[in-house]
Amino acid sequence: MQHTDWQTITMGKFTLRIRPYTLTMRHVFTVASFSRTTTPVVLTELTYEGITGYGEASMPPYLGESQQSVISFLQKVDLSPFTSPFQTQEILTYVDGIATKNTAAKAAIDIALHDLLGKLMGQPFYKIWGLNPADIPATSFTIGIDTQDMIRKKVTEAAEFKILKVKLGLDSDKMIIDTIRSVTDVPLCADINQGWTDKERALEMAHWLAERGVVFLEQPMPKEQLEDNAWLTERSPIPTIADEGCQRYTDIAALQGVYSGINIKLMKCTGMREAKKMAELARALKMKVMLGCMTETSCAISAAAQLAPLVDWADLDGALLIANDIFQGMEVKDGYCYLPDQAGIGLVKSTTS
């Protein structure tokens, strides 16, 4: 898959290019429900009047998308009725209506369109949105479930980060936290990935984790257990954040009171346009906002980072977890995100890709 040729689709004034690509993980990546060493993605390029915007669809297993399903969706996209990329609302509403779900495929168009628009305007998208990159919180770095020796190694490698995200949800939870605490005392956020099923045990763990410097719980129990999650949120000493339980804008209102906040990911919500709307709605509902990612290249990471000034917590380490990124964009230095002052989403593409 690495060297599959680009497929080109001409649509009136627009040209869409599509290519599957496989990301290689630096370490085996383990969460409560699975382990993997690669992530399939599909890269997109959207060209209008000689200007090209870059996009990406990333497909971790639980999204239910594959390279083939994304390519099949993208082959249905026909932008020939549109005369300008500035018809953004109409274009993205049309793309969203082609089929249900397929959110990563839709994000690949959305990101490329925003990159293209920013380049046409000659401005980074965070400036177009009027956001200040100095407001971006420190990004967390993810420590997957592993052996004690590997956890210590990963934590040591992540010494520059001001906050670590820890994958929990198995019987090894306390061992993992104790192992991390033997190496560092930086704040932690705990991502349970729906791994806890008993609310009483979840509350007991919430207190135990809070005493050890964990600042919030991400998706503590299965998303179907709405009443249990609400019960936990009401009693937990630290905030609870919906991840698997919050996919799109229309999910948010029903989650007020069930969780303290939401985790927005471009691959879940169809891209930058809807992600910004989600952040604004959550804020209006007095909910916390986290901005997350999948394992992605710097393309999708840099796209998400454009709206990072709006959020309480950033988890934008996806490109740092892979060994074969083909873009340069948003950079992490000393645990903080730095957006390049470049038009669009700020990407430079590798000349070898």
| pLDDT tens digits, 202-243 | 999 999 999 999 999 999 999 999 999 999 999 999 999 999
Using pLDDT thresholds of 50, 70 and 90, give the confidence band for residue 45. Answer: very high
pLDDT of residue 96: 98
Give the domain extent around 107.
7-123
Do 43 and 186 lie in one domain? The reply is: no
Q: What is the pLDDT of residues 266-295, one digit of tens each?
A: 999 999 999 999 999 999 999 999 999 999
pTM, to two decimals: 0.95
Share of residues in the chain with pLDDT > 90 (%): 92
Average pLDDT, integer, range 304-329:
96
Number of domains in the chain: 2
Do 119 and 136 lie in one domain? The reply is: no
pLDDT of residue 1: 39
Maximum C-alpha span of the chain: 60
Question: CA 330: distance to chain centroid?
Answer: 14
Do 241 and 172 lie in one domain? The reply is: yes
Do 119 and 239 lie in one domain? The reply is: no
Predicted confidence (pLDDT) at residue 2 exceeds the cutoff of 90 = no
Whole-angstrom Cα distance, residue 249 to residue 279? 9
More confident residue, 235 or 29: 235
Given 107, 123, 139, the domain boundary residue is 123
- CATH number of the domain to which 318 belongs: 3.20.20.120
pLDDT of residue 56: 98
Q: Is the residue at 2 inside a domain?
A: no
Q: Is the residue at 1 inside a domain?
A: no
Predicted confidence (pLDDT) at residue 155 exceeds the cutoff of 70 = yes
- CATH number of the domain to which 16 belongs: 3.30.390.10
Do 115 and 198 lie in one domain? The reply is: no
Do 20 and 83 lie in one domain? The reply is: yes
Whole-angstrom Cα distance, residue 328 to residue 302? 9
Do 301 and 338 lie in one domain? The reply is: yes
The two counts, helices (H) then strands (E), for the chain are 11, 16
Do 219 and 287 lie in one domain? The reply is: yes
